[in-house]
Structure 1
Amino acid sequence: MKQKIKIGIDVGGTNTDLAILTTDNTILYATKINAQNGVLSSIAEALTAAHNFLKPVSHELRGIFLGSTYATNALLQPERLERVGVIRIGSTMKDAVPPGYQFPPALKQVIIDTATIDGGHKIDGALLNPLNEAQATNALTQLLDAGMQSCAIIGTFAALYPEHEKAVARAIQTHAPHIPVTCSFHLGGTNFIERENSAICNAALIQTLTREFEDITTIMKSLGLTCPLFMIQNNGTTISMDEACRFPIKTIAAGPANSIMGAMLLSQIDTAIIIDIGGTSADIGFISDGYPQQSFAGSSIADVSLNIPMADTISIALGGGSIVTVTADGHPIIGPQSVGKELPTKALSFGGSTLTLFDCAVAAGLVPELKSTTLTITSDTANQVLTHAAQRIARELKTARIRRPNASIILVGGSTFLAPYLQALVPDTHIIVPSHAEVANAFGAACARISGTIDTTTSLLNRESVLKSLEQDAMTKAVAAGARHETTSIINRQIIPYGYSHDNRARVIITAAGYL
């Protein structure tokens, strides 16, 4: 009888982690591949190792689940991104702040030009102006002449009234079908600036991320892996490859979601604070009743304010690759510079010349499989450095625990080295290091719930019956995508009411999710 299995992959900036699980979440195999030779190369190496492990095993591969930092890294290195033309619909926006005015200088360069045309709506649905189709055609010509490679369309109150955005998108697809289009209404939210930022970033990412995702499917095919590929989105559930290519912004925070879900499932605790340390940063996240806590104060990536729901996390520039210096009076300084994915060549433990936080863990005897003869740091100094690292995290925890005073702390990834140091600083707290903590992110990816979302505009005069019907539609959609019916439930319900509507009209977004 063939064993049913699944593969989880978490692609970070430093390492690619992979775990092979049975469908009841037993880990059969796990590996961590450094990305110093390129992210795609690390994915190929990880999948090849998995393929070789599975060769003698009679198995049925049900799916590969992949979460990545592709989108975040691309925004931080915007020279890889496509040039975006922006079309604003609404004459009132002509005197508004320009698109991307808060963007960092390098990222702002992706905006090639902007055109503002008549159209748009007020909050009650009344027209600001009728849509001017001639102006839309002229705007397309203007932006193409400027070198536009992708287009972002933003209309006033388009989250409620998307008709004008849809009409302009159709015109672009008719006259310039090679140009990818992002309509802001797909990304939700009534706040114009954050919705515009999200649309611009998504438009800039589409072609770059599509190429990356297609390269992964090519690797799968070369290894004979013909199972479905599920992409992890910001809430820790899956979206299809097609949706990930159209809306890559939805995958931008998959990494923290993977770690949070993996930590919860490995520890079997559904309400906790999770700490994950990677090569360059430490992330503190929160899980409540089995779901990653979402950010309520807005979200931002690469210093850009967005309106994309994502896990609520606190990030610190402290990772295994963080460069450590010790002052003349013995005071340790950790980071913010990091060797990142070059740890295997630059760290002292591997024969390099740079002292890193990882080296301190080695010198303190916390990595028994690695005894370096090239370390120039004593165990006492190493312990002092690790205590300082734990103190930095403890300071952040002090704020995080105000609303969660009795929450356990789960350590995964590189944070496991700090367990004894953190425990000494917060002795009244239950600190957990689960088995397989080093690959919690890949485990979390493999255990991601498969989702189905209904996004529609409807009357809510018969509110309960309408919502119940839409919830059933979302459940059906999740099951059709591969979720088991008995594990499927509603995980999110968003209702955006229309202003001054006689029939209680609203945009309703409902998501259901269940396990493979």
Structure 2
Amino acid sequence: MANYRIGIDVGGTHTDGVILDEAYNVIAETKVPTSEDVSSGIYQALHEIVTTSSVPVENINYAMLGTTHCTNAIVERKRLNNIAVIRIGAPATLAIKPLLGVPEDLKDILGKHVYIVRGGHEFDGREITELDETDIYRIANEVKGKVDSIAVTSVFSPVTDGHEQRTAEILQEVLGDEVAISLSSEIGNVGLLERENATILNASIVNVARTTANGFVNALKKEGIDAKVFFGQNDGTLMSVEYTVRYPILTIACGPTNSLRGASYLTNKSNALVIDVGGTTSDVGVLTNSFPRQSSLAVEIGGVRTNFRMPDIMSVGLGGGTIIHVNEDQTFQVGPDSVGYRLTEKALIFGGDTLTTTDIVVALGKADLGDPSKVAHLDKDLLESVYAKMVSMVEEALDKMKTSADPIPVILVGGGSILLPDKLKGASEVICPNNFGVANAIGSAISQVSAQIEKIFSFDELGRDKTIEKAKNMAKEEAILAGADPDDLVIVDLEDVPLAYLPGNATRIRVKAAGSLKKTTVV
């Protein structure tokens, strides 16, 4: 019996959907406007691909979703959990309170139950002071019925996570399994405040992730599909629903990442620069061994500085719906605002009243879309100047993302790819593959499952080889938890950095394991 899989990716402008067969050929594809509530756009895309593909629904075994729900919740400050914040670090960290540097409006929502308790470890794993378990019991009873999610952060927990684990045990004992607990040692890297922020954000979007997951599962059921559901995470791989609800923060920025994975698959290139041109922005990223290059900097999400892993993506305010502002003296500005998903009603070529980048390429004869007669009156010199500016914006981003002056292959994907020419400065070649418009949905459908661990180990205990082996096994175990097939796991990334300032021959090891989806039994 044939196996099919569905991939859906929610962007700021469009929600894209595809159905792929076992050989990853595209059987059906669609692009619908992203709805304000996001979910109805997903339902529509799902319904369209199922209807047009004529694939028997019982043959669809997997469904993957790349979503912006969690990012939007943080940015819009909506639908966030009622959370408690527990920092284990008194008396050492009392000078700087949790939520430092978090915007006031978000602090008002997330800062209602904030506690600092005695405990934590030194950078070499020694206890600063014993964990105050009595205080944890008191806090657990105090927040009972008031919160549905708790963020726990302990000093240097990536080195030693014992105090966080014990705190989680006490919280579960008092509050039961209904309250979600986020532990910083499982989310961020060394660096207390940024790791704490990432953990707080993770705790705040658990409900959003759960609602999105349930909504997607229900949408599939409505179409009669009983498939294994996975979510895209921001390193270009997938995770199970249970894993998503535990670490929803890992879905942030999975859209551009899916596009990179899709671009790699469609062109068979594993090292290239990818430009994903959407309706609002162009996202520029780098493929290294078929996966997105990771950012080494602290990342801001909704104004909050965090340090969990993110793809290295540069966004440029140029998309298919970007508005061109023309002044009376014929000077102009490209964006940064966009008509977004209302392109088909706002752009001149569709009978609207707003000059967009799409109108520019149609007026210049570079794309065949809408009604060209509606832009025939535009001044050719102005059009050429605007187009040159659009191209230079992308070339500048391309130059910034390259690690050397040598030309590099550039892959164009996304519905807005029609905006760009087939030659770009700094590119050895410009490739626009088949199905480029839905590369993000394809990326989400073809992805593997992965997990990454990043911890500080002491080589003195087991020696270098055994310690690295231990780290690899930890990453593999996490990947299996996330839904990977145990028989098909490979280590795709390994980095170890000696930490000269720590005793015990300490080294920070980062390992990522990836594998294909766990096989489902087909009846």
1:485 Cα offset (Å): 4.8
Shift of 1:479: 7.3
Distance change (3 Å), C-alpha of 1:389 and 1:103: farther
Cα distance in 2, alignment partners of residues 395 and 473 from structure 1: 41
Indicate how the Cα distance of structure 1 residues 497 and 427 shifts in structure 2: closer, same or farther if over 3 A, else same. closer
Match of 1:131 in 2: 131
Cα 1:187/1:58, change in 2 over 3 Å: closer
Letter paired with 1:32: K
Asked whether the 8 Å contact 2:57–2:225 carries over to 1, the reply is: no
Residue aligning to 1:62: 61
Partner residue, 1:271: 271
Counterpart of 2:420?
Answer: 419
Tell me if 1:107 matches 2:133. no
Mapping of residues 58-97 of structure 1, within 5 Å: 60-97=59-96
What residue number does 2:389 align with? Answer: 388
Q: Measured at CA, do residues 186 and 268 of structure 1 come closer, stay the same or move farther in structure 2, by a change above 3 Å?
A: same
**Cα distance in 2 for residues equivalent to 1:228 and 1:454:** 25
Q: Is the 8 A contact 1:322 1:335 kept in 2?
A: yes
Instruction: Render the CA deviation track for 1:73-120: whole Å, top value 9, x for unaligned.
Output: 111111321232211111145533332222233333332231111111
Structure 1 runs not aligned, ≥5 long: none
Measured in 2, the distance between the counterparts of 1:428 and 1:459 equals 44
Deviating more after overlay: 218-227 vs 102-111 = 102-111
Aligned CA distance change for structure 1 residues 477 and 427 (closer, same or farther; 3 Å): closer
Provide Cα deviations, 1:166-196, integer angstroms capped at 9, x if missing partner.
2222222222234322111111411101100
Alignment of 1:403-442 (within 5 A): 403=404, 405-420=406-421, 423=423, 426=425, 429-442=428-441
Per-residue CA deviations over 1:185-209 (Å, capped at 9, x if unaligned) read 1114111011001001001101122
Partner of 1:295: 295
Distance 1:464 1:56, change over 3 A: closer
Contact 1:261/1:291, CA 8 A, preserved across alignment: yes
In structure 2, how many angstroms separate the alpha carbons of the residues matched to 1:104 and 1:474?
A: 34
Identity over aligned pairs, percent: 31
Residue 150 of structure 1, CA deviation: 2.2
* Alpha-carbon separation, structure 1, partners of 2:84 and 2:172: 14
Greater shift after overlay, 78-87 or 451-460? 451-460
**Matches of residues 495-514 of structure 1 in structure 2 within 5 Å?**
510-514=511-515
Aligned amino acid, residue 394 of structure 1: E
Deviation digits for residues 206-243 of structure 1 (CA, Å, limit 9, x no counterpart):
11221111111111111111111111111111111101
Which residue of the partner structure matches residue 398 of structure 2?
Answer: 397
> In 2 relative to 1, CA 163–466 (structure 1 residues): closer, same or farther, beyond 3 Å?
closer
Report the number of matched residues.
510
User: Cα distance 1:106–1:418, how it changes in 2: closer, same or farther (>3 A)?
Assistant: same
Taking the TM superposition and a 5 Å limit, the aligned residue runs for 1:448-459 are 448-451=447-450
Once residues 175 and 479 of structure 1 are traced to their aligned partners in structure 2, the CA distance between those partners, rounded to angstroms, is: 30
Secondary structure at 1:115's aligned position in 2?
Answer: strand
**Structure 1 residue 469 displacement after superposition:** 6.5
The root-mean-square deviation of aligned C-alpha atoms, in Å, is 3.0
Partner of 1:280: 280
Residue 338 (structure 1) aligned with residue 338 (structure 2) = yes
- Match of 1:429, SS? strand
CA distance in 2, matches of 1:427, 1:207: 44
Q: Equivalents in 1 of 2:154, 2:513: separation in Å?
A: 29
Structure 1's 388 and 484: CA in aligned 2 closer, same or farther, altered over 3 A? farther
Q: How does 1:357-372 map to 2 (within 5 A)?
A: 357-371=357-371
The alpha-carbon deviation at position 442 of structure 1 amounts to 0.9
Q: CA deviation at 1:468?
A: 4.0
> Does the CA contact (< 8 Å) of 1:449 and 1:483 recur in 2?
no
- 1:172 equivalent in alignment to 2:171: yes
2-structure distance, mates of 1:153, 1:288? 34
Separation of aligned partners in 1, 2:486 and 2:379: 51
Kindly indicate whether the alpha-carbon contact (under 8 Å) linking 2:188 and 2:199 is maintained by their aligned counterparts in 1.
no
Q: Distance in 1 between matches of 2:418 and 2:54?
A: 34
User: Given the superposition, is the C-alpha separation of residues 269 and 110 from structure 1 closer, same or farther in structure 2, using an over 3 Å criterion?
Assistant: same
CA distance in 1, matches of 2:497, 2:139: 30
Aligned equivalents of 1:92, 1:228: Cα separation in 2: 47
- Inter-partner Cα distance in structure 1 for 2:428 and 2:165: 53
Deviation at 1:23, TM superposition (A): 2.4
Q: How does 1:25-64 map to 2 (within 5 A)?
A: 25-36=24-35, 38-55=37-54, 60-64=59-63
Is the 2:10–2:67 Cα contact (8 Å) retained in structure 1? yes
The 3 A distance-change label for structure 1 pair 467 and 94 is closer
* CA distances 1:453-484 after superposition (whole Å, capped 9, x unpaired): 67899875244245446646755875794549
* Structure 1 residue 317: Cα displacement: 2.2
Q: Structure 2 counterpart of 1:304, which letter?
A: V
Alpha-carbon distance in 1 for matches of 2:478, 2:42: 30
C-alpha separation in 2, matches of 1:160 and 1:496:
14
Q: Which amino acid aligns with 1:276?
A: D
Partner letter of residue 167 of structure 1?
R
Q: Aligned residue for 1:493?
A: 494
Where do 1:151-230 residues align within 5 Å? 151-177=150-176, 178-230=178-230
2: CA distance, partners of 1:477 / 1:138: 32
Q: Are the structure 2 counterparts of residues 485 and 26 from structure 1 closer, same or farther at C-alpha, using a change threshold of 3 Å?
A: farther
Where does residue 4 of structure 2 map in the other structure? 5
Which amino acid in the other structure matches residue 242 of structure 2?
Answer: D
Note if 1:445 corresponds to 2:440: no
Structure 2 CA distance for partners of 1:475 and 1:183, relative to 1, 3 Å: closer
Contact 1:332 1:384 in 2 (8 A): no
Aligned-partner Cα distance in 2 for 1:17–1:258: 11
TM-score (structure 2 length as normaliser): 0.88
Deviation of 1:415 after TM superposition, in Å, equals: 4.4
Q: Normalising by structure 1, what TM-score?
A: 0.89
User: CA contact under 8 A between 2:151 and 2:199: conserved in structure 1?
Assistant: yes
Distance 1:115 1:7, change over 3 A: same
Provide closer, same or farther for how the CA distance between residues 97 and 376 of structure 1 changes in structure 2, counting only shifts above 3 A.
farther
